[in-house]
């Protein structure tokens, strides 16, 4: 059974940094993609970044390019994906979700992901 669990959210001041982690366990697929989305109150869920098993250039949305960086570690049956978030702004406040697909693909839409985490809150104060 695949489980996706996020951690690392919290409260930070403008200009600060956080690192989110996503552990996808039971993840035994040869080809996969894992990424981060976020959803602020009253807004649509937004795709931020993703990385795939082929390790082709990771995707970063324009809203986070240059500030957020995705990376990954592989272990037996578990893929852990990190998102380093620097230069945080109040508009980055949202619930951040990790999502995974069991194929090497672009995942910029909700329906492209097979598995979701429960979300972790990030709040940036001014």
pLDDT of residue 54 exceeding 90: no
pLDDT of residue 57 exceeding 80: no
Q: Which residues contact 17 (CB under 8 A, 6 or more apart)?
A: 84, 85, 86, 87, 88
Q: Which residues contact 76 (CB under 8 A, 6 or more apart)?
A: none
Query: pLDDT at position 46, please?
Result: 95
Q: Classify strands 78-85 and 18-25 as parallel, antiparallel or unpaired.
A: antiparallel
Mean pLDDT, to the nearest integer, of 83-95? 97
Mean pLDDT, to the nearest integer, of 25-39? 93
Find the angle CA(68)-CA(35)-CA(62) to the nearest 5 degrees. Answer: 45
Q: Report helix, strand or coil for 48.
A: strand
């Amino acid at each position: 059974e695949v489980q996706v669990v996020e951690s690392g959210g919290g409260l930070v001041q403008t200009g600060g940094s956080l690192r989110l982690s996503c552990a996808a366990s039971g993840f035994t697929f040869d080809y996969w993609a894992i990424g981060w989305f976020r959803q602020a109150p009253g807004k649509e869920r937004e795709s931020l970044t993703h990385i795939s098993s082929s390790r082709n250039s990771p995707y970063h949305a324009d809203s986070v390019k240059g500030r957020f960086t995705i990376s990954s570690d592989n272990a037996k049956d578990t893929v852990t994906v990190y998102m380093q978030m620097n230069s945080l702004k109040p508009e980055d406040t949202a619930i951040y979700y990790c999502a995974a697909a069991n194929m090497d693909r672009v995942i910029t839409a909700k329906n492209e992901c097979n598995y979701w985490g429960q979300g972790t809150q990030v709040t940036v104060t001014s």
